[in-house]
Each structure stands twice: as C-alpha cells, then as structure tokens.
C-alpha cells in the first residue's frame, strides 16, 4: 500500500475510532449544556441570561479559533494540533465538572472551546490521510454520520444523564472518553510533516476579530439590539475586508481565497452554510414545537428528537459510498430537497398529531440531511490540494458553525416577533417553514454543480 495513501486496514480502524470519539464529544457538548442551563444558573446563583454564557463561551471560542488552528495544522502537522486540542478539551471538561463558581465555569468552557477547535479544525484533514483516496467518500461518510448524529442527539443524551445525575456529570462524562480517544490518537494517527511556512499572526488576529464581531452582531439581533448591532457589524465588515485583502498577498494564505474561484469549492461552502442554517432552525425550534404545539412533555420531546439522528445514522454510510461514484450535485441536492419537504411537512403537521405523524416527518428530514452531508463534505475536501487539507477542513467547520449560529439567531428573532404561544402563528411553525426554505435554496445551489464547469473540478 502506498504510504501516502491512507493507513493499513487495522490501523485505520483504530484511528477512525479515535476520530469518531473525539468529534462526537465536541459536537455533543454543544447540545448537552443547553438543557442544564436553568439548573446551572440556580445552583450557582446567577440569572438565566448570564447562564447562557456557559454555552456561548464554548461556541464563540470554537468559531473564532477554527481558521487559525487549521492554518497552524498545515504548518506543524495535523496530528499535533489534534492531540493538543484533545488534551485541552479533556482537561477543561474536568475543570468544568468541578467548578464552584460561574467565572471558573465560563473560563473553563472558553478554554474547552479552544480545545474543541483544535479537534474540529483538523478532523477532516486527518480523515483524508487515514483513508485511501479510493475510499475517501466512505471516510467522510463515517465522519458525517458521527457529526450529524452527535449534533442532533445532544439534548436527548443530556436528558438521560440529568435523569440520573446532577449537571456536573454532563461535563465529567467526557473525561474518560477523551482519555480513550487520546490513547488511540497517540498510538494510531498517522505522522505527517507540516509545510513549515511562517504562521501569519496578523491574519489570525483579523480572523478572530471579524468572526467574533459577526457573532456579537448576530447575538445582538437575536436579543433585539436594534441599531446597536450596526457598530460591530460595520467593524466586522472592515476587518473581513482587511483579512481577505491580506490573504491575497500571502504565499500560503490562512483562508484559501484562491480556492473560492473553484466552483466545486465555493458551491460546496455555500451549500453547507444554507443547509446547516436549515438544520439549526429545525433543531432549535422543534422542542418548542413538540411541547407547545404538539402537546408533548419535555421527556417525550427529547425522545421525539431522536428520530432525526436515527434516520441520519441509517443513511449516512450509504451516502458516503455513493459519493465515491455519483455526482455530488445530484446526491446532496436531492437530499436537501427531501429535507426541505420534510421540514414543510413538519410545519404543516395537523393539530393534535400522533407520535407516528411526527416520527415519519422527522425521519424524512433526517434521511435528506444524511444524503447531503457526506457527498458535500467530500466534494469540498477533494477539490483542494492535499497539502491544504487543513485549511479546507477549517473552512468546512467554519461554514457549519456559521450556519448553525445564524439559524439559532433567526429562531430567537422569530420567537421575538411571532411569539411562542400555540396556534397558527406559533414561532416554531414559522421557524420550521423558514428552515424548509433554506434547505430548498441549498438544494438549488447544490444542483448548480451538475453543470459541466463545476463537475470538471470535482
């Protein structure tokens, strides 16, 4: 076997297990802490609005650090960034579990977010080195399965943990799994040398400032900030312009701006942002929909949410293998069209729906989303040179987080405008319909890749 074309089968299996455990810990953590926020706030004596920073600190740290850490992975090697991130994530999970004050907990969560960014920023690049080229779609399919299932299953898993233990265990359970993933990573992940070019500190600072201010503006919009959000938004636009302009002068830019001239790459990024926005609109709105509109309890709502990740888990391995054979525009576009139909069906669910009425609609959404993820991720990764896999993986993860963050913010705006009381104008219904529209737009963007100009570059 070519030493530069993936690992031998035995080593590959253990390396995949390490990657799967670590990335699942990172994405599940995003959803688990949300469920415990009221309890955390009560135990630590803080307001509900202040408790939100347990989640915000983690998500903001991930988003702003992805691109710089992905670029650093290209320089020093993806394995080093991955292992360092996993060590930091696991250590901070232990600190979070033992925190006795809000400042300590938020500081630990902020640092844990940087560790999570280390894992996420190079995860896709490592998949490209673990799997041979002929099986890249299969590898991306497994990775997509873990990410999608973890993202959707986080609230359900949190409900299970909280039914038998207190909130610190939400963080403590990550420690043993993190140590196992770390042991496998040290033993089985491939060694690869970085490019050893210079790390551009100004680019890193501009990237962090731009994304941080964008997130601040989005949060301001979600909380009715009015004209006050214009200041961070304008500064973010200026910072983004300076950042992109600087990339054009660098021999090896942190953001691979030149790659956006490739239709296969740019269309994959656009598809990802719109698709993850649709997913976030649905995942955030659905618990409110189940409780207020469908009349279910909180426990029942948590179990109903599992229909989505189960459907993703069922189809993701097949979509990964299909991505190695069939056009990505067809697979991802068709999957997103199915997802759009499922979301519109959920938004038009009849009054007093049965469990079956909900489950089959949720399953349609999950099946569609499962068929989108692996082909789209494969197209994005395979459209860039192998030595820029880290940068491409950073763009992929950033696209996902921007879409998810924007979707969650739109739900907050919709709830503020429409309200959360049951009825035809219930905010969750509007959010689901908007999610269907976003999925439809993402499907149209994906279908554009069936044109010859994009297909030649895949």
For residue 295, CA distances in Å to 34, 320, 353, 423 come to: 21, 37, 9, 12
Same domain as 5, residue 91: yes
Same domain as 154, residue 96: yes
Select from 179, 195, 211 the last residue of a domain: 195
- Asked if residue 105 has pLDDT above 70, the reply is yes
Token pair for 255: 């953001």
pLDDT of residue 111: 94
Of 172, 141, 142, 143, nearest to 32 (Cα)?
172
Question: What tens digit of pLDDT does each residue of 430-440 get?
Answer: 889 999 999 99
Same domain as 422, residue 283: yes
Give the range among 348-362, 371-385, 426-440 with minimum mean pLDDT: 371-385
Per-residue pLDDT, averaged over 117-138, amounts to: 81
Same domain as 176, residue 92: yes
Do the beta carbons of residue 223 and residue 112 sit within 8 Å? no
Domain that holds residue 218: 201-249
Give the range among 38-47, 167-176, 178-187, 216-225 with minimum mean pLDDT: 216-225
Name the domain count of the chain: 3
CA atoms lying within 13 Å on the CB side of residue 270: 20
Task: Look at 456 and 132; give whichever has higher pLDDT.
Answer: 132
Do the beta carbons of residue 457 and residue 268 sit within 8 Å? no
Same domain as 298, residue 381: yes
Same domain as 267, residue 122: no
Task: Look at 194 and 287; give whichever has higher pLDDT.
Answer: 287
Q: How far apart are CA 233 and CA 218, in angstroms?
A: 9
Token pair for 304: 């109903």
Q: Who's near 220: CB < 8 A, 6+ residues apart? A: 228, 229, 232
Same domain as 229, residue 159: no
Task: Look at 305 and 384; give whichever has higher pLDDT.
Answer: 305
pLDDT of residue 341: 96
Q: How far apart are CA 173 and CA 334, in angstroms?
A: 38
Q: How far apart are CA 191 and CA 331, in angstroms?
A: 33
Q: How confident is the model at residue 38 (pLDDT cuts 50, 70, 90)?
A: low
CATH no. for residue 433? Answer: 1.20.1250.20
Same domain as 189, residue 205: no
- Asked if residue 213 has pLDDT above 90, the reply is no
Same domain as 16, residue 135: yes
Q: Residue written as tokens 């650093």?
A: 72
Select from 175, 195, 215 the last residue of a domain: 195
Same domain as 332, residue 377: yes
pLDDT of residue 292: 75
pLDDT of residue 262: 77
Do the beta carbons of residue 68 and residue 204 sit within 8 Å? yes
pLDDT of residue 47: 65
Give the range among 202-211, 325-334, 376-385, 397-406 with minimum mean pLDDT: 376-385
What's the mean pLDDT when you consider all of the chain? 81
Give the range among 125-134, 374-383, 417-426 with minimum mean pLDDT: 417-426
Label residue 238 exposed, middle or buried (CB < 10 Å: 0-12, 13-18, 19+): middle
Helix (H/G/I), strand (E/B), else coil: 340: helix
pLDDT of residue 61: 87
H or E stretch covering 418: helix 389-418
Question: What tens digit of pLDDT does each residue of 413-450 get?
Answer: 787 777 555 544 578 888 899 999 999 999 999 888 77
Label residue 166 exposed, middle or buried (CB < 10 Å: 0-12, 13-18, 19+): middle
Same domain as 6, residue 145: yes
Same domain as 311, residue 338: yes
């Amino acid at each position: 076997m070519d030493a530069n074309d993936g690992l031998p089968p035995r080593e590959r299996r253990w390396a995949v297990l390490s990657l799967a455990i670590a990335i699942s810990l990172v994405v599940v953590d995003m959803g688990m802490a949300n469920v415990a926020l009221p309890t955390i706030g009560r135990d630590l004596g803080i307001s509900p609005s202040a408790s939100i920073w347990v989640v915000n600190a983690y998500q903001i740290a991930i988003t702003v650090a992805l691109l710089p850490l992905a670029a650093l992975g290209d320089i020093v090697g993806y394995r080093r960034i991955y292992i360092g991130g996993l060590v930091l994530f696991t250590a901070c999970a232990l600190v979070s579990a033992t925190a006795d004050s809000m400042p300590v907990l938020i500081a630990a969560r902020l640092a844990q977010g940087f560790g999570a960014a280390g894992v996420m920023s190079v995860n896709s690049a490592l998949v490209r080195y673990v799997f041979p080229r002929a099986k890249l779609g299969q590898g991306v399919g497994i990775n997509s399965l873990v990410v999608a299932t973890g993202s959707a299953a986080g609230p359900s898993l949190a409900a299970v943990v909280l039914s038998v233990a207190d909130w610190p265990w939400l963080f403590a359970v990550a420690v043993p799994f993190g140590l196992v993933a770390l042991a496998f990573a040290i033993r089985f992940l491939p060694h690869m040398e970085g490019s050893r070019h210079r790390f551009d500190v100004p680019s890193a600072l501009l990237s962090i400032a731009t994304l941080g201010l964008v997130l601040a503006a989005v949060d301001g919009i979600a909380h009715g900030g009015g004209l006050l959000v214009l200041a961070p938004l304008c500064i973010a636009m200026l910072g983004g312009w300076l950042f992109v302009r600087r990339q054009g002068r660098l021999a090896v830019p942190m953001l691979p701006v030149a790659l956006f001239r490739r239709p296969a790459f740019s269309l994959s990024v656009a598809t990802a942002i719109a698709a993850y926005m649709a997913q976030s609109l649905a995942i955030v709105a659905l618990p409110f929909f189940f409780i207020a509109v469908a009349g279910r309890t909180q426990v029942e709502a948590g179990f109903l949410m599992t229909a989505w990740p189960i459907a993703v888990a069922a189809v993701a391995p097949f979509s990964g293998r299909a991505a190695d054979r069939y056009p990505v525009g067809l697979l991802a576009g068709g999957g997103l069209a199915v997802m759009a139909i499922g979301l519109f069906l959920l938004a038009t669910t009849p009054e007093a729906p049965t469990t079956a009425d909900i489950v089959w609609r949720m399953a349609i959404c999950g099946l569609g989303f499962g068929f989108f993820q692996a082909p789209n991720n494969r197209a994005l990764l395979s459209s860039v040179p192998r030595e820029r896999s880290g940068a491409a993986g950073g763009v992929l993860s950033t696209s996902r987080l921007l879409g998810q963050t924007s979707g969650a913010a739109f739900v907050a705006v919709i709830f503020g405008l429409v309200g959360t009381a049951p009825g035809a104008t219930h905010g969750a219904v509007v959010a689901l319909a908007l999610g269907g529209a976003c999925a439809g737009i993402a499907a149209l963007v994906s279908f554009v890749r069936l044109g010859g100009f994009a297909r030649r570059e895949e």
